[in-house]
């Protein structure tokens, strides 16, 4: 990317990283408070919604052309994904009625997260540079990986939490579920009620936070490593150039695994958590 000609007034390594880790949001400058519900990360929203639409476009195309005859390559690929998700759902969620919604949720989650994670494969400076050229502002912020934004991943994991709560109530009944909240996991005894309830709350919180944080951490770290590698190339030395190529190739190849693996893990945990909501303690 632009390295040599900007050397005179180029950003320092710290500035470069901070710049790349700052969202393009509705305020136009970096968010100050840790939590501020009036701010929207426009880049995360744009890329996640765009990729979601792209996903739906291809899936609906595949669905509308689906025949029981000989499938084409594209149809076969989609079918492999659907079969994989359907098999996993069948093994984890033991309710055919729930699977009608849960399995599509898992498929959506898997493909959507896979696509969002895949944004990491684009050169770290490519879209931000194009964005800077479009806006004419050299310091325009843009982050292209929606899953490297905690809002994106926690949004999805809270979605899964809501589904868990919904199925808890649906399967066990509101009374049954509340009863379970106070009697599981340690047993039904008035003295144990607070402990049980506390444990249940911790469990829900831990599940949801770890669910979202796991994906976010992986993608955030992956993005950061790509930036560090880009900085290595940005030194514009032979060592830096060779190092950039070697490290960049290795990390990109390794990242293919992480991208697919994290999408799969998120999907599997979605199924597992929803499956747990179906089981009585």
Site string for other proteins, 84-113 (x = CB under 8 A): --x-------------xx-xxx-xxx--x-
Interacting span for other proteins (CB under 8 A) from 63-71, 90-98, 186-194, 201-209 = 63-71
- Does position 2 interact with other proteins (CB under 8 A)? The reply is no
- Does position 216 interact with other proteins (CB under 8 A)? The reply is yes
Nearer Cβ to other proteins, position 164 or 232? 164
117 membership: H or E segment, kind and range: helix 96-118
What is the C-alpha to C-alpha distance for residues 217 and 17, in angstroms, rounded to an integer? 16
| Structure token pair of residue 20 | 């790349």
CA of 275: how far to CAs of 134, 165, 168, in Å? 47, 11, 10
Residues 6+ apart with CB under 8 A from 121: 252, 255, 256, 259
- Does position 29 interact with other proteins (CB under 8 A)? The reply is no
Query: Which residue among the candidates 13, 95, 151, 214 is catalytic per the annotation?
Result: 214
Say if residue 15 is exposed, middle or buried (CB neighbours under 10 Å; 0-12, 13-18, 19+).
exposed
Q: Would you tell me how many other CB atoms lie within 10 Å of the CB of residue 150?
A: 16
Examine the residue annotation and report whether 48 is marked as an active-site residue of this protein.
no
- Does position 36 interact with other proteins (CB under 8 A)? The reply is yes
Examine the residue annotation and report whether 38 is marked as an active-site residue of this protein.
no
- Does position 159 interact with other proteins (CB under 8 A)? The reply is yes
Smallest distance, other proteins to C-beta of residue 220, A: 7
Q: Which of 158, 184, 199, 260 binds other proteins (CB under 8 A)?
A: 158
Smallest distance, other proteins to C-beta of residue 52, A: 5
Contacts 24+ apart (CB under 8 A), 87-90: 88/267, 88/268, 88/271, 89/271
Examine the residue annotation and report whether 214 is marked as an active-site residue of this protein.
yes
Nearest one of 129, 82, 128, 142 to 107, comparing CA atoms? 82
Answer whether 270's CB lies under 8 Å from 160's CB. yes
Nearer Cβ to other proteins, position 82 or 171? 82
Nearest one of 152, 279, 171 to 213, comparing CA atoms? 152
Site string for other proteins, 122-151 (x = CB under 8 A): ------------------------x--xxx
Nearest one of 264, 234, 261 to 6, comparing CA atoms? 234
Q: Which of 10, 52, 240, 243 binds other proteins (CB under 8 A)?
A: 52
- Which residues would be at the binding site for other proteins (CB under 8 A)? 25, 31, 33-41, 44-45, 48-49, 52, 55-56, 59-60, 62-64, 66-69, 71, 78-79, 82-83, 86, 100-101, 103-105, 107-109, 112, 146, 149-152, 154-156, 158-159, 162, 216, 220
């Amino acid at each position: 990317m632009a390295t040599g000609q900007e050397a005179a007034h180029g950003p320092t390594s710290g500035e470069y990283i901070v710049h790349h880790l700052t969202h393009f949001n509705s305020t136009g400058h970096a968010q100050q408070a840790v939590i501020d519900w009036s701010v929207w990360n426009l880049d995360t929203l744009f890329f996640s919604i765009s990729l979601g639409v792209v996903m739906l476009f291809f899936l609906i195309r595949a669905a509308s052309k689906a025949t029981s005859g000989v499938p084409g390559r594209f149809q076969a690929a989609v079918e492999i994904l659907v079969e994989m998700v359907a098999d996993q759902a069948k093994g984890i969620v033991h309710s055919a009625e729930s699977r009608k919604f849960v399995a599509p949720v898992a498929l959506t989650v898997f493909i959507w997260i896979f696509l969002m994670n895949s944004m990491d494969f684009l050169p770290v400076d490519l879209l931000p540079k194009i964005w800077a050229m479009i806006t004419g502002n050299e310091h325009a912020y843009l982050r292209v990986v929606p899953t490297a934004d905690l809002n994106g991943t926690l949004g999805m994991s809270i979605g899964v939490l809501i589904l868990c709560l919904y199925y808890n109530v649906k399967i066990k009944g509101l009374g049954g579920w509340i009863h379970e909240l106070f009697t599981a996991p340690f047993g039904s005894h008035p003295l144990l009620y607070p402990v049980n309830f506390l444990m249940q709350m911790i469990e829900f919180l831990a599940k949801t936070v770890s669910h979202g944080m796991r994906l976010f951490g992986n993608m955030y770290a992956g993005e950061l490593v790509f930036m560090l590698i880009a900085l290595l190339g940005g030194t514009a030395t032979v060592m830096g150039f060779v190092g950039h190529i070697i490290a960049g190739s290795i990390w990109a190849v390794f990242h293919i695994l992480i991208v697919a693996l994290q999408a799969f893990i998120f999907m599997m945990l979605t199924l597992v958590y929803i499956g747990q909501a179906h089981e009585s303690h």
